[in-house]
Amino acid sequence: MRVRRATAADLPLLQDIERAAGEAFRALGMAEIADDEPPPLTVLERFRAEGGAWVVVDEEPDRDPAGGDGSAAGAAAGTGPRTGAGTPLAYLLHEEVDGAAHVEQVSVRPSAGRRGLGRELIDRLADRARADGLAALTLTTFAEVPWNAPYYARLGFRVLGEAELTEGLREIRRTEREIGLDRWPRVCMRREL
């Protein structure tokens, strides 16, 4: 496995990863989250063009761990043959918000779960942010979903109190409230670098 910048060809595969990863929310009574569409290609392209879209890829382009059928449809879905660049198994979107690298999204294809791919992406972002002189990583997430806030706490993030929120984080939270994400408890988190 290796981390690389996302390419334009990867972007539809990131949408597939997001849809597959979202299915786990159904078991928690969060079908609306599972049914939510992934970011549109235009949004993913903006992150990619700005250097804020990274993927973890399988280093064995001739092997298909997802069990694809080798068809063009399988290739488009990320389950068919791969190029030498590898097929994305996980991705991270980030941008700078108030002097921190803000994690917009981390998603892992369920068949590639529990291998540390999300942790690898977060740690790589921490290294890059530190080298760029940023003070921290930040994110917003569901407080009670096991693979959200509790997971990020294990990676060194802490929940921020209301008084600790920067204006950029306040704006992100306002947007999340407007689109209905606050039906379930959410928190802002920070990992110092």
Distance between CA atoms of residues 20 and 122, nearest Å: 20
Percent of the chain whose pLDDT exceeds 90: 84
2-192: what CATH class?
alpha beta
Q: What is the pLDDT of residue 1?
A: 86
pTM listed for this prediction: 0.87
Q: Where are the domains of the chain?
A: 2-192
Tokens representing 185 are 């408890």
Residues in the chain: 193
Tokens representing 135 are 């003070």
Is residue 103 within a helix (H) or strand (E), and if so which, with residue range? Answer: strand 100-108
Max CA separation in the chain (angstroms): 53
Could you read off the pLDDT of 58-88 as tens digits, one per residue? 876 534 444 443 333 343 444 443 445 799 9
Could you read off the pLDDT of 119-131 as tens digits, one per residue? 999 999 999 999 9
